[in-house]
Structure 1
């Protein structure tokens, strides 16, 4: 029984040695797109970190990422299509009725993000979801 227990402890400790985490090779500023030259791997394990470089490349840094520190899942996301104060097309659709107008984005966001927007005609603040074409689908 003790040999079995010692073997299990050895397996757990040795598997942690072979684990890798993705880290920036240089400091990456917030809102920057991550490229293959920006990241590498090093031995270690982080619960909410990345272990494959391919999962990080093409994503946008939400916060500043420092060289050598693990990249956490909530520190990156899809690239922003809409920036703050950008004029966007607003689309409201319900029961066969479609209303399209222009609005000003009050937040940055990528595809699928929920953002606040201001209708330029009525000055009302609304919420909408960013679509793949950069327009915003107003939520009722």
Structure 2
């Protein structure tokens, strides 16, 4: 009789006797918001505790990337936030070494192979076309089977500091070449300072494929 009286009192005051599943934010909705916040190509998987009980959000969930693979999902109206790890599920074709390359060695086409791999958060760092690697120099010993990243290689230095180079200037159909000395190292397309050995003036030019420095 006492229990019945309590239930009637709860109904009379408009208070719920117990929470139901519909009072909680659906876990799949939280996971979907976290995945959508990251640019994952073919998608990804968010790790959310299936037993998580957060108040249902009356507005769209807010998602903010806080780390390479972590998203903060929050609801201002309900006053909660949760940090969700996300793993990319996308795969793409990337470059891999078909054989070992020594430090200081230039990469050739025969050194390369292409494979399909799950790239996760490293996608932007990996090389995907042979043109990105051929002719570049290994910074360190790279083992066969290694995925190639941008920071594994550097451009071949065509000009070295202190080296005598040709300084090239073109004016219409007239071409002038003078002897100069490089004041810094430079790869193809780099801007380098050189000293004109005739005038002792310092000018800046662009390194050409044949090692000359062109001033425009």
Q: TM-score, normalised by structure 2?
A: 0.45
- In the aligned structure 2, how far is the partner of 1:57 from the partner of 1:70? 8
Q: Which moved more, 1:90-99 or 1:109-118?
A: 90-99
Alignment of 1:90-109 (within 5 A): 90-92=167-169, 99-109=176-186
Secondary structure of 1:19's match? Answer: strand
What do the CA deviations read for 1:78-123 (whole angstroms, capped 9, x no partner)? x443344332211345699865310122333333221121222343
Which protein has the larger Cα radius of gyration, Structure 1 or Structure 2? 2
How much has 1:131 moved relative to structure 2?
A: 2.8
Q: Using a 3 Å threshold, how does the CA distance of structure 1 residues 110 and 22 change in structure 2: closer, same or farther?
A: same
- Of residues 59, 67, 74, the one that matches 2:135 is 59
> Given that residues 21 and 44 in structure 1 are in contact (C-alpha distance below 8 angstroms), is that contact kept between their aligned partners in structure 2?
no
Secondary structure of 2:148's match? Answer: coil
- Of residues 152, 159, 164, the one that matches 1:82 is 159
- Does the alignment pair 1:138 with 2:209? no
Q: Aligned pair count?
A: 132
> Given that residues 59 and 76 in structure 1 are in contact (C-alpha distance below 8 angstroms), is that contact kept between their aligned partners in structure 2?
no
**Equivalent position of 1:71 in the other structure:** 149
Alignment of 1:15-54 (within 5 A): 16=89, 18-24=91-97, 25-30=99-104, 32-41=105-114, 43-45=117-119, 46=122, 47-52=124-129, 54=130
Q: Using a 3 Å threshold, how does the CA distance of structure 1 residues 76 and 16 change in structure 2: closer, same or farther?
A: farther
> Given that residues 106 and 138 in structure 2 are in contact (C-alpha distance below 8 angstroms), is that contact kept between their aligned partners in structure 1?
no
RMSD of aligned residue pairs (Cα, Å)? 3.9
Unaligned runs of 5+ in 1: none
What do the CA deviations read for 1:10-31 (whole angstroms, capped 9, x no partner)? x52498463243244424424x
Q: TM-score, normalised by structure 1?
A: 0.62
- Does the alignment pair 1:12 with 2:86? no
